[in-house]
Amino acid sequence: MVGTSERLPELMYNLKLHNGKTLLFETSEKVFIPTGTTTLLLDSVREQIGSRGSILDIGCGIGVVGIALAAYGLATSLSASDISHEAVVLTEHNAVSNGCEVTARHSNLFEAWLDTAFDYIVDDVSGVAEGIAAVSGWFKNTSCESGYDGSLLTKNVIRQSHKHLRSGGRLFFPVISLSNETEIIAEARRCFEKVSLLKQKAWPLPDDLKPHLALLDRMRNEGVISYEEKFGTHIWTTSIYMAHN
C-alpha cells in the first residue's frame, strides 16, 4: 500500500490527453482502477468548462479527472477528496509527479469541505447497485456503499453540492444504467433548475458479470437497473450530466 512501509509493486495507469501529452498515474490493487466512465466524464467536463475556475474532484480515486483538467489549464485551483485514504495518498503523489498542485483530503463526500465553495464539482463516487458491484471486478478491493439501487451516493452528492457551488457553478456527474437512473435524474431535477445530458456511451457487459444474469434480470424487472440485449450481447450505458441553476 502506497504511503506505508509495505509498498505494493507499482501499477501504472496512462492517460493520453487531446493535446498529445501523456499523464502517468501510479495506482494499486487497493483502490478503484479508472474505467471508461472516468475518461468519458473527463472529456465531458473538458468540453464544457468555458473559463478557468476552482475544481473539486469528489470521489477522486487516484486523481485522474482533476489532475487531467489541471493539465489542460482549466483549474485555477484543484481540490480532491475520497473516502479511501490510499486513494488520497496516491492522488497527492500523482499530482506531484505530473507537475500539478492539489489540496487532497480524506473525506466522506463533502465532510472535509464544509466551508468551501467551488466553480466546478466533478463527481465520480461509486454509482453501481451494490448487488452488482459485489459480483463485478470493479470493486474487488474497494468498498461500494451506494445502496441497493446504486443511487445513494450520487443523490447525496447532488443534494449537498448546491452548498458548495459558487454562483454560476456547475456539477458534473455520471449515471450508470446498472443503477436507478430514474431516481438519480429526478433528484437532480429537484435540486437544480437545469440538468443536461452531455454524453452517453454503451458498453458490453463485462465477462465477470455474465454468470450473474439471473441477478441482473431480477433487478431489471424490479426497475432498479436497465440494460439491453442486442445480437446476443448485453449492453449497459454510462451517461454524463451537468447540473446548474
Question: In the structure, what pLDDT confidence band is assigned to residue 34 with cuts at 50, 70 and 90?
Answer: confident
Position 8 scores a pLDDT of 40
Whole-prediction pTM: 0.91
Largest Cα separation within the chain, whole Å, is 51
Q: How far apart are CA 182 and CA 225, in angstroms?
A: 9
Position 137 scores a pLDDT of 67
Average pLDDT, the chain: 90
Residue 86 has pLDDT above 50, yes or no: yes
Q: Which residues make Cβ contacts (< 8 Å) with residue 99, sequence separation at least 6?
A: 71
Does 1 fall in a domain? no
3-state secondary structure of 77: strand
Q: Give tens-digit pLDDT for 156-173.
A: 999 999 899 999 999 999
Residue 244 has pLDDT above 80, yes or no: yes
Does 4 fall in a domain? no
Is pLDDT larger for residue 65 or for residue 7?
65
Q: How far apart are CA 144 and CA 33, in angstroms?
A: 13
Indicate which CATH number applies to the domain containing 190.
3.40.50.150
Does 5 fall in a domain? no
Question: In the structure, what pLDDT confidence band is assigned to residue 6 with cuts at 50, 70 and 90?
Answer: very low
Residue whose C-alpha cell reads 454509482 in the numeric block: 127
State how many domains the chain has. Answer: 1
Residue among 94, 91, 166, 101 at smallest CA distance from 124: 91
Residue among 69, 215, 50 at smallest CA distance from 131: 215
Does 118 fall in a domain? yes
3-state secondary structure of 146: coil
| Residue ranges making up the domain that contains 88 | 11-244
Residue 145 has pLDDT above 80, yes or no: no
Q: Give tens-digit pLDDT for 94-129.
A: 999 999 999 999 999 999 999 999 999 999 998 888
Residue whose C-alpha cell reads 449515471 in the numeric block: 175
Question: In the structure, what pLDDT confidence band is assigned to residue 31 with cuts at 50, 70 and 90?
Answer: confident
Does 95 fall in a domain? yes
Does 114 fall in a domain? yes
How far is Cα of residue 105 from the mean position of the Cα atoms in its chain? 16
Q: Give tens-digit pLDDT for 195-222.
A: 999 999 999 998 888 989 999 999 999 9
